[in-house]
């Protein structure tokens, strides 16, 4: 009889429940439930509806009962940086802000008034992004200090949902590192840094590694969903789970976790918090078993997703890729990391305005727009590869693309051409697979990460793309 495990993978635009089990040495996965997600605009503020998300988590769990496949354990991953603050009765205090909200504008200056930017990077190794939790908490301190004063517990979103299911509060390491408040040396909250910034230190719980058991479902939740199971910590930052699913036993080499964001990097055993890494805006996010995901955040498929939504989802992503290929000679490019593309009212207009400002041809058709986005992303990947090779003093012969973006065949080929590297694309459900891997290792199905990665390679289709054009020579 199969042992089932449930991955609840919640992204910024959708969530899904995926059941996994082992069959003849291979990992088999089945999506059993999917739901929409997105920030709500409330009086100009971009917020998360955590009650809605919790309700959808439970709805998906009920599908296990309907299917007669009760999981032995479950785990939840989400995006990074966003959090809830709880009062003394464990009630959510105030609104739960989304990372695209503009409330952090100017908060970096206040942080650097208390600790210089170079010192902050040296002690955390996390790249500056205005949505990082460190700046969000500064916005709380400046804009709603009463909320911060009343707070008794700080929880990242996946930890909050696990708490709602079990009544147990546990904080997971990988997602916590995205806050820019964790020491890469101690692998715990930097309490001295918290004090420097004026944040209450007693609301932060000790950090636990993936594989830690949170607890069983509470009696109330068990009754609601119709079964009981253990809740286990996965690498709850979705990219950390995705990188776990690299189909390569030793995990070496370049990767792109491709989705709404493109996270491009390598795995390191020790964080690189040096001056050159800071200048390149590289980050050292925590990974499974205290590895470090040395990477750069790139805007990713958010741009094409936004354009698609503006067109009322008239075209599939495969169709948009095809249209981009038909317009591949359209010459204009944009900087995919420019802040103007973070949350524009209209992505199409923002791209057109960028091209006007920079004296380039303005894309008018959907195909031209898609061509600009995909080729700009590939160019950005090419630049980032050269940065990574310079900073790590290594040459890499291939790139593994994991996550939903691995389905974008045209972009995969552009990536091979722009980087001069062989591209391996897959698995597409990398985040959910990594979530399941943490549970399966905990359950004794795998002896460790290397064995689990070997299983991923053998269980899922991996497509290969060879560079067809000569890329720019890399000089280290």
Contacts of 57 (CB under 8 A, 6+ apart): 8, 10, 15, 17, 76, 161, 165
User: What does 90-134 look like in DSSP terms, one character per residue?
Assistant: SPBPS--B-TT-GGGTTHHHHHHHHS-HHHHHHHH-PPP-TTSHH
238 labelled catalytic: yes
User: What does 296-319 look like in DSSP terms, one character per residue?
Assistant: EEE-TTHHHHHHHHHTTT-S-HHH
Query: What per-residue string of b and e applies to 207-226 under the rule 16 or more CB within 10 Å gives b?
Result: bbbbbbebbbbbeebbeebe
Q: Are 231 and 215 in contact (CB under 8 A)?
A: yes
Instruction: Choose the catalytic residue: 9, 101, 190, 238.
Output: 238
Q: CA nearest 174: which of 284, 83, 86, 18? A: 284
Report phi then psi at 227, rounded to 5: -160, 175
DSSP H or E run through 424:
strand 422-425
CA distances from 313 to 303, 319, 320, 387 (A): 13, 11, 11, 35
CA separation for the pair 429, 8 (Å, rounded) = 12
Would you name the residues annotated as active-site residues? 238
């Amino acid at each position: 009889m199969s042992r089932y495990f449930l991955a609840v993978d919640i992204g910024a635009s959708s969530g899904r429940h995926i059941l996994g089990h082992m069959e003849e040495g291979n990992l088999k996965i089945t999506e059993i439930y999917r739901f929409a997600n997105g920030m709500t605009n409330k009086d100009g503020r971009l917020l998360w509806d955590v009650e809605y998300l919790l309700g959808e988590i439970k709805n998906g769990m009920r599908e296990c009962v309907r299917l007669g496949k009760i999981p032995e354990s479950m785990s939840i991953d989400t995006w990074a940086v966003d959090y809830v603050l709880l009062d003394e009765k464990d009630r959510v205090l105030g609104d739960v802000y989304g990372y695209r909200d503009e409330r952090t504008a100017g908060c970096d200056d206040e942080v650097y008034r208390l600790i210089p930017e170079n010192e902050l990077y040296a002690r955390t190794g996390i790249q500056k992004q205005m949505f990082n939790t460190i700046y969000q908490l500064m916005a709380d301190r400046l804009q709603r200090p009463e909320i911060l004063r009343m707070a008794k517990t700080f929880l990242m979103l996946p930890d909050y949902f696990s708490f709602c299911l079990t009544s147990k509060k546990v904080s997971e390491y990988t997602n916590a590192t995205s806050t820019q408040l964790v020491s890469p040396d101690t692998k715990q909250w930097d309490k001295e840094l918290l004090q420097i910034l004026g944040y209450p230190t007693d609301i932060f719980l000790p950090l636990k590694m993936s594989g830690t058991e949170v607890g069983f479902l509470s009696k109330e939740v068990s009754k609601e969903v119709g079964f009981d199971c253990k809740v286990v910590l996965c690498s709850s930052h979705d990219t950390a789970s995705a990188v776990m699913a690299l189909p390569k036993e030793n995990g070496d080499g370049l990767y792109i976790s491709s989705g709404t964001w493109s996270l491009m990097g390598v795995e390191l055993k020790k964080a690189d918090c040096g001056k050159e890494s800071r200048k390149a805006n590289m980050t050292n996010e925590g990974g499974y078993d205290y590895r470090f995901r040395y990477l750069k955040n790139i805007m990713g498929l958010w741009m094409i997703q936004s354009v698609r939504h503006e067109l009322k989802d008239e075209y599939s992503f495969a169709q948009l890729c095809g249209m981009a290929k038909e317009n591949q000679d359209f010459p204009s490019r944009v900087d995919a990391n420019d802040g103007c593309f973070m949350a524009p009212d209209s992505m199409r207009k923002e791209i057109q305005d960028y091209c006007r400002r920079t004296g380039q041809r303005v894309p008018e058709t959907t195909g031209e727009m898609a061509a600009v986005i995909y080729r700009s992303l590939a160019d950005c990947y090419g630049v980032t590869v050269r940065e990574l090779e310079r900073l790590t003093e290594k040459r890499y012969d291939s790139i593994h693309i994991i996550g939903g973006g691995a389905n974008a065949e045209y972009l995969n080929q552009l990536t091979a051409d722009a980087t001069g590297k062989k591209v391996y694309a897959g698995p597409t459900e990398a985040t959910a697979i990594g979530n399941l891997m943490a549970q399966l290792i905990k359950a004794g199905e795998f002896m460790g990460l290397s064995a689990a990665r070997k299983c991923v390679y053998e269980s899922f289709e991996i497509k290969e793309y060879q560079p067809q054009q000569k890329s720019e020579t890399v000089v280290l």
